Structures are given as structure tokens and as C-alpha cells.
């Protein structure tokens, strides 16, 4: 049995929430107790909510939020590519999380053949680099429904100051955009994050209002796409 398959089976055994002794699991999987000890250490190090120790047993202390999945080669490649895209992206918080996730994926999946290594995918862009300082604050404001005050330079080089309701971040391969309701214009606007000079939190929380919320913004986007 491959180690990745054995780790998967161990997770299935632990999903019942009961305490399982290493000897019991070793007998079920037809491996040595030492092998179970090493595998449980791997699961713990990967972040699985497993507790226990030799001579006592092991238990899953929290439910696994994602059901176990068997991925084919293309699905696994798509997962790795998506994680790497976030890991090399401009948002430092998400990048750290993606790198940690990549390590967990690598610990329980087969290694990539050399021909399918990281050199096949390169993510670059000065726009994303310029956007990076603003992304954590924008994400936090979107979740908290907090108004932001921004200084922005439009494509003509004109600088303006706006009070906005941030609604949605979008990544277009190289460029991040922020969909927002602009208080000054009384309408929705899309701002390129790399053209934002500065952002100031206002500590003002806004309640979703008809005509100014995310659903209305998406409806406007869909209408524009249909008319183009």
C-alpha cells in the first residue's frame, strides 16, 4: 500500500471521533505499529486535528470540514497551480496560507515528475506588486463592511480622493480590481488597486442597502457584459 493511500485510510478510521490505539490501526492496515506512529506524526505535522501519543491512542478532535477526495492527475495539477498562484500573489496573508497549504498537499500526494515541475508556471507582474500593500486592508474592510477613503490616480493621471464602500476584489491575471460603491459619484465604480496611492480606514461601518450592495453591483456587471 502506498503511503498516501495509507494516510487516507487512517483519516477514514479516525473520522468516527473515537480513540483508536496504534496496534488496532496497524492490524487493520496490515502494517507495523512503528509505521502507524510515523504516519500519525505526519498527520499531526500537516495540521490535521489529531491528538494522541504512543501507548495511549489517537483521536480526531475536530471534524474535517472538507470530505476526503480522490483527485485524478488533472485535478491535482489544477489544485497545485491554483495554490501556487495564490502563494505568489500580491496578498501576503493569503500567500503565507497558500504556502502552508502547498506543504500539506505535498505531504499526502505523490511528488510531481520533473517535467511537470514549477518551472512550467511563472507568475509575474509589476501591477500585482504595486497592489500588494493595499490588499490586506481591502479584504478586511470588505469583510467588516467598512467604508474606506482612498486616493486614486485614473488612467489620465488625474488624482482624486474618494470615500467608497468596498464590495469585491477581482484578479485578472496581472491586475487586481476593486468593485465599490463610490459615495461621491453615487454609483458603482471599479478601481485598479495598483493605481490606489493610499487607503485610510474610516472605522465607519455601512449596512447593505438596496442599490448599493454587492448583489446590485454584480447585477450591474452582468448587465454590462450582456450589452457588450
Confidence at residue 69, expressed as pLDDT on a 0 to 100 scale: 61
> Residue 68 domain-assigned?
no
Split into its structural domains, the chain has a count of: 3
Is 66 domain-assigned?
no
Residue 65, in any domain of the structure: no
pLDDT at 85 exceeding the cut of 90: no
Q: What is the pLDDT of residues 12-43, one digit of tens each?
A: 888 888 899 999 999 999 999 999 999 999 88
State the CATH number of the domain containing residue 186: 2.30.30.100
Burial of 165 from C-beta contacts in 10 A (0-12 / 13-18 / 19+) = buried
Both 175 and 158 in one domain: the answer is yes
Q: In the prediction, which pLDDT does 62 show?
A: 77
Q: Is residue 67 part of a domain?
A: no
- Residues 159, 184, single domain; the answer is yes
The pLDDT tens digits of the residues spanning 105-128 come to 777 665 554 434 444 444 556 776
CATH code where residue 46 lies = 1.10.10.10
Give whole-number Cα distances, 130 to 77, 96, 134, in Å. 29, 18, 8
- Same domain, yes or no: 171 and 90: no
Q: Are residues 137 and 178 in the same domain?
A: yes
Least confident of 61-65, 100-104, 122-126: 122-126
Q: Are 24 and 93 found together in one domain?
A: no
Query: Does residue 103 lie within any of the structural domains?
Result: yes
User: Nine-digit cell at 170?
Assistant: 477581482
Residues 134 and 101 in one domain: no
Contact, 41 vs 22, CB < 8 A? Answer: no
**99 and 145 belong to one structural domain:** no
What mean pLDDT comes out for the span 56-84? 73
Residue 9: domain span? 3-60
pLDDT of 8 reads 82
Q: How many helices (H) and strands (E) does the chain have?
A: 8, 7
> Is 56 inside any structural domain?
yes
Residue 8 belongs to a domain:
yes
Determine the Cα–Cα distance for residues 42 and 72; give it in Å rounded to an integer.
Answer: 23
- Verify that 103 and 155 share a domain, yes or no: no
Residue ending a domain, choose from 13, 28, 60: 60
Residues 134 and 221 placed together within one structural domain of the fold: yes
What does each C-alpha distance from 29 to 22, 90, 198 come to in angstroms?
11, 44, 58
Q: What is the model's pLDDT at position 194?
A: 92
Specify if 173 maps to a domain.
Answer: yes
Residues 144 and 212 in one domain: yes
Residue 109 and residue 141 in one domain: no
What is the band of 61 on the pLDDT scale with cuts at 50, 70, 90? confident
Average pLDDT value for residue range 125-148 = 85
Based on the domain organization, do 141 and 212 belong to the same domain? yes
Amino acid at each position: 500500500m502506498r503511503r498516501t493511500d495509507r494516510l487516507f485510510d487512517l483519516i477514514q478510521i479516525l473520522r468516527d471521533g473515537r480513540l483508536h490505539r496504534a496496534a488496532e490501526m496497524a492490524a487493520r492496515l496490515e502494517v507495523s505499529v512503528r509505521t502507524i506512529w510515523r504516519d500519525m506524526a505526519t498527520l499531526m505535522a500537516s495540521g490535521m486535528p489529531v491528538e494522541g501519543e504512543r501507548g495511549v491512542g489517537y483521536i480526531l478532535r475536530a471534524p474535517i470540514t472538507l470530505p476526503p477526495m480522490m483527485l485524478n492527475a488533472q485535478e491535482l495539477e489544477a489544485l497545485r497551480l491554483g495554490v501556487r498562484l495564490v502563494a505568489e500573489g500580491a496578498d501576503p496573508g493569503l500567500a503565507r496560507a497558500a504556502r502552508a497549504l502547498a506543504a500539506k498537499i505535498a505531504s499526502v500526494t505523490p511528488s510531481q515528475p520533473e517535467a511537470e515541475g514549477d518551472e512550467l508556471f511563472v507568475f509575474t507582474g509589476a501591477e500585482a506588486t504595486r497592489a500588494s500593500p493595499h490588499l490586506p486592508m481591502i479584504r478586511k474592510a470588505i469583510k467588516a463592511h467598512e467604508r474606506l477613503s482612498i486616493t486614486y490616480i485614473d488612467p489620465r493621471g488625474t488624482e482624486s480622493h474618494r470615500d467608497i464602500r468596498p464590495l469585491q476584489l477581482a484578479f485578472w491575471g496581472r491586475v487586481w480590481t476593486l468593485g465599490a460603491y463610490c459615495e461621491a459619484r453615487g454609483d458603482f465604480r471599479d478601481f485598479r488597486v495598483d493605481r490606489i496611492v493610499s487607503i485610510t480606514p474610516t472605522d465607519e461601518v455601512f449596512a447593505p442597502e438596496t442599490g448599493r450592495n454587492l448583489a446590485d453591483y454584480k447585477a450591474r456587471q452582468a448587465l454590462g457584459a450582456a450589452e457588450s
